[in-house]
Amino acid sequence: MPLYKTIKPNKHTTIYVWKIEASLCELSKEIELNERSKKRLLSMKSKLHQRGFLSVRHLLREAGYTDFDLYYNENGKPHLKDGKNISITHSFNFSAIIISDSEVGIDIEMNREKIKIIQHKFVNFESGFIHQDDDYIQQLTVIWGAKESLYKIYPHGGLTFKNDIDINSFQIIDKKTTGFIKAEDWQKSYNIYFEQVENFTLVYAIDPLSND
């Protein structure tokens, strides 16, 4: 079960991407879970979600951690016991984690027509720059993934994608932009990076104060 891809955006940050091809049985091998994770895994009705959950534990191992090094705050935000920042994502047959000394968030989404139908739920400020001559589905998927990544950075929960998070202008060829969290207690800008992984869009946000 090989690691699909590793990305090193800067010297403080590493991204690990896994393509979920193994069975649930295979993914369960050599992975020890804490009690919270065991209960969570058993509560999942979808084998797809179970496989995604276990693949993340394999990514933790690739990064030198175990499930026992991971814990969550009251809003469900994951943390590592050594103080490093972590963000987690999985969608269909891909999963990814980002680990950094800086604030980070990550999301991976399949590129699907469906996103056009729900764009009114998350596109606001961004409607002014979406380019009709660019890949519309990918643009929307980047916007969603960028907002999801920033949502995961904010520690207190409760943000709305449409009103509390703005993504600045970009084109798909750019592979980067910036985004802003507009909470009363959290007015911060972040660097946003994105790339295609097969038919998926991988997006991640990094605190711009981190040193390259």
pLDDT given at position 31: 93
| 120 and 56 inside one domain | no
Do 29 and 97 belong together in one domain?
Answer: yes
Q: What is the pTM of this model?
A: 0.95
Angle formed by the axes of helices 47-62 and 35-43, to 10°?
150
Residues 87 and 115 in one domain: no
Cβ burial of 42 (10 Å; 0-12, 13-18, 19+) is: exposed
In-domain check, residue 88: yes
Backbone angles phi, psi at 129, to 5 degrees: -125, -5
Last residue within a domain, chosen from 47, 80, 101? 101
Tell me: do 134 and 198 sit in the same domain. Answer: yes
DSSP string computed for 22-50: S-HHHHHTT----HHHHHHHHH---HHHH
Q: What is the pLDDT along the chain (212 residues), one digit of tens a residue?
A: 579 999 999 999 999 999 999 999 999 998 999 999 999 999 999 999 999 999 999 999 999 999 999 999 988 899 999 999 999 999 999 999 999 999 999 999 999 999 999 999 999 999 999 987 779 999 999 999 999 999 999 998 889 999 999 999 999 999 999 999 999 999 999 999 999 999 999 999 999 986 55
Do residue 74 and residue 155 come from a single domain? no
Please indicate, yes or no, if residue 212 is contained in any of the structural domains: no
Domain extent for 24: 5-101
Instruction: Give the CATH number of the domain where residue 167 resides.
Output: 3.90.470.20
CA distances to 87, 90, 129 from 84, in Å:
10, 20, 35
Coil, strand, or helix at residue 138? helix
Asked, for residue 161, whether it belongs to a domain, the answer is yes
Residue ending a domain, among 81, 101, 121, is 101
Q: Are residues 10 and 94 in the same domain?
A: yes
**Residues paired with residue 13 on neighbouring β-strands, in sequence order:** 10, 100
30 touches 60 (CB < 8 A): no
